C-alpha cells in the first residue's frame, strides 16, 4: 500500500482559499455547523476547523480508509468533529446520527479522491496495474471487474458513452467482450491494453490517455455517482439554515450539469408565467454566489495538477426552511 507520507502531504485541497471565503459569512456565526460531505483525507475540513474556531463539523465519507485517515488528521479538534460513514446523498441520516437538525455551511468536493487515486490496489488509476476494483466503499457493492466481465455489450456501450462521453464506446465495448471470451479481465493493466487496441492510433496520440474516459465511466457506474448526486444536491439544500451557504466542486461536465440544474431551479422564481404578483411561496429560495463556474488559477493548477478540471459553484439560502427551528441547537456534541 502507498501512503507512507503524512496525510497532509498526500492531499492538496482544491480551491481552498476561495471555498473558505465563500463559506465564511455562514461559518463565522457562533455555534455554526458545517458539513464536509466528501471528507476524503480531511484537507478542507482541517482548514475550516482552523479558520473558524467555534465551528462544529460533520464529516461524511463512504470510504472507511478515508474516515480513518481523516480521523487521525482531525483528532486534535476533539469533539468539534463528528465523522459518519455514509454516502453523500444520506445527509438527513448523517445529521440525525450527529445530533443536529440544520447546517450553516456545506462542501461537496465531488469525484474520486486523492486517496483513492494514490492507493494502487484500489484500481482507480489507469497508469498503474492493479486489481480492477474502483469501489469507493470497498466493503460493499460490485467491482469494476464484475462489471466489465458480466455486462453485455449494449450495457457497456451505454455506460462508456454516457458516463465517459467516449466517442469510441462501441469499439471499446466490442473489444472488452472479445477479450473476456478468452480470459477474465482482472487488472487495470489488462483493461488498458484492451482499450488501447480499440482506440484508433491517431486519436490516442491527440486525445490524452486512451483509457481515461472509460475508467471514468466504469468508476461512475460502479459507485452510482450521478444517481447519488441527483439525490444529494436537493437534500443538501434542504438542510441549510437561513443564510447558510454551500459550495460544490465538480470535476467533469456530467457532475457540473447536475449541480447547475439544481442550483438554477432553487435560485429562480416559481411564480407561474404571467402571474401578476410573486407570492412568498414563489420566491427564489437561494441566490447564486458565483457567475457560472469558477476555476483554479494557473498557479494553483501548476502546483496541483489534479485541480485543473475543477469547477466551483456556490449558493446561499435566502428564504427560511418551512420547518426551520431557529432556536433548536443541539447540546449533543458527539466526537469523532
Within 79-138, residue ranges assigned H as helices are 91-98, 114-118
In whole angstroms, give the CA distance from residue 91 to residue 150: 33
> 131-153 burial, b if ≥16 CB within 10 A, otherwise e?
ebbbbbbbeeeebbbebbbebee
Say whether 44 counts as a known binding-site residue.
Answer: yes
Report residue 193 as a C-alpha cell: 491494453
88 is in an annotated binding site: yes
In CATH, the architecture of 121-223 is Orthogonal Bundle (1.10)
Domains 7-115+225-317 and 121-223 share a fold: no
Per-residue pLDDT 10s for the chain (336 aa) are 444 455 555 567 899 999 999 999 999 999 999 999 999 999 999 999 999 999 999 999 999 988 999 999 999 999 999 999 999 899 899 999 899 989 999 999 998 777 777 677 787 788 888 999 999 998 889 999 999 999 999 999 999 999 999 999 999 999 999 999 999 999 999 999 999 999 998 777 777 889 999 999 999 999 999 999 999 999 999 999 999 999 999 999 999 999 999 999 999 876 666 666 666 666 889 999 999 999 999 999 888 887 888 999 999 999 998 765 443 344 343 333
- Sign of CA pseudo-dihedral 218, 13, 102, 21: negative
CATH number attached to the domain at 7-115+225-317 = 3.40.50.150
116 is in an annotated binding site: yes
* Domain coordinates in residue numbering, the chain: 7-115+225-317, 121-223
Confirm whether residue 299 is marked as ligand binding.
no
78 marked among binding-site residues:
no
Claim: this prediction has a pTM higher than 0.85? yes
108 in a known ligand binding site: no
Give residue-wise pLDDT tens across range 294-330. 999 999 988 888 788 899 999 999 999 876 544 334 4
Q: Which helix (H) or strand (E) holds 54?
A: none
Q: Which helix (H) or strand (E) holds 253?
A: helix 253-266
Q: Are 282 and 271 in contact (CB under 8 A)?
A: yes
Amino acid at each position: 500500500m502507498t501512503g507512507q507520507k503524512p496525510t497532509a502531504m498526500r492531499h492538496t485541497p482544491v480551491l481552498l482559499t476561495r471555498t473558505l471565503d465563500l463559506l465564511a459569512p455562514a461559518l463565522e456565526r457562533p455555534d455554526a455547523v458545517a458539513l464536509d460531505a466528501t471528507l476524503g483525507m480531511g484537507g478542507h475540513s482541517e482548514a475550516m476547523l482552523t479558520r473558524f474556531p467555534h465551528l462544529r463539523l460533520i464529516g461524511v465519507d463512504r470510504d472507511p480508509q478515508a474516515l480513518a485517515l481523516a480521523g487521525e488528521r482531525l483528532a486534535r479538534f476533539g469533539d468539534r468533529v463528528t465523522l459518519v460513514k455514509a454516502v453523500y446523498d444520506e445527509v438527513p441520516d448523517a445529521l440525525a446520527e450527529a445530533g443536529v437538525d440544520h447546517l450553516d455551511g456545506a462542501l461537496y468536493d465531488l469525484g474520486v479522491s486523492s486517496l483513492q487515486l494514490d492507493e494502487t490496489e484500489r484500481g482507480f488509476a489507469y497508469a498503474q496495474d492493479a486489481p480492477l476494483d474502483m469501489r469507493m466503499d470497498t466493503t460493499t457493492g460490485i467491482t469494476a471487474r464484475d462489471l466489465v466481465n458480466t455486462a453485455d455489450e449494449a450495457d457497456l456501450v451505454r455506460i462508456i458513452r454516457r458516463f465517459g462521453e467516449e466517442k469510441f464506446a462501441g469499439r471499446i465495448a466490442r473489444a472488452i467482450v472479445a477479450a473476456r471470451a478468452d480470459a477474465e479481465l482482472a487488472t487495470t493493466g489488462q483493461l488498458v491494453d484492451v482499450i488501447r487496441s480499440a482506440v484508433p492510433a491517431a486519436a490516442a496520440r491527440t486525445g490524452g490517455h486512451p483509457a481515461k474516459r472509460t475508467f471514468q465511466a466504469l468508476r461512475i457506474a460502479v459507485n452510482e455517482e450521478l444517481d447519488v448526486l441527483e439525490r444529494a444536491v436537493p437534500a443538501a439544500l434542504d438542510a441549510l439554515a437561513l443564510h447558510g451557504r454551500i459550495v460544490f466542486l465538480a470535476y467533469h461536465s456530467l457532475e457540473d450539469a447536475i449541480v447547475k440544474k439544481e442550483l438554477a431551479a432553487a435560485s429562480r422564481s416559481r411564480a407561474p408565467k404571467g402571474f401578476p404578483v410573486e407570492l412568498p411561496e414563489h420566491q427564489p429560495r437561494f441566490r447564486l454566489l458565483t457567475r457560472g463556474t469558477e476555476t483554479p488559477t494557473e498557479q494553483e493548477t501548476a502546483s496541483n495538477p489534479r485541480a485543473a478540471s475543477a469547477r466551483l459553484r456556490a449558493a446561499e439560502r435566502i428564504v427560511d426552511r418551512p420547518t426551520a427551528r431557529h432556536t433548536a441547537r443541539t447540546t449533543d456534541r458527539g466526537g469523532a
